[in-house]
Amino acid sequence: MEMTTPTEELHQQLNSWKEEVNDVRNEVKMMRERLEQIALSEASREVMTKVEQLENRLLRQREVADEMFHDIKQCAKKNSDTPVTVIHDDRPIDDFATMQHRMEIFRKLYVALKEDFNRFIPCEV
């Protein structure tokens, strides 16, 4: 299926994704800070196990967010009017449809993580 998105609309979408990924980065940072507070408390072993599990998932989410942000920027460069040489080219970042699919997966995984985090936190307040 061929994309018929005009260049300006494409760039707006890519910029929107960059903002969304940055928002996720900021939320992950706040969630990690909250988990650190719990980790410093005298919580039970069961709670500390859950804190560690969530902390690991948050760390991975941050890594994925960083990768997504980088790839979105590279996709924007490859789809711009002026040709740009991209050195880091080991993922299919020039394909808008691929980036769109990756963003959908990114969102789903983040929503699941956030739901798990929010279910856990009220138990610890």
Residue 58: band (very low, low, confident or very high) from pLDDT cuts 50, 70, 90: very high
Q: What is the pLDDT of residues 2-40, one digit of tens each?
A: 444 567 888 899 999 999 999 999 999 999 999 999 989
8 Å CB contact between 71 and 102: yes
Q: Delimit the domains of the chain by residue range.
A: 7-124
pLDDT in tens, 66-102: 999 999 998 888 777 655 454 544 554 557 888 899 9
Determine contact, residues 10/79, Cβ cutoff 8 Å.
Answer: yes
Residue pair 54/36 in contact (Cβ under 8 Å)? The answer is no
- Whole-prediction pTM value? 0.78
SS (H, E, C) the chain: CCCCCCHHHHHHHHHHHHHHHHHHHHHHHHHHHHHHHHHHCCCCHHHHHHHHHHHHHHHHHHHHHHHHHHHHHHHHHHCCCCCCCCCCCCCCCCCHHHHHHHHHHHHHHHHHHHHHHHHHHHHHC
Token output for 90: 């080991």
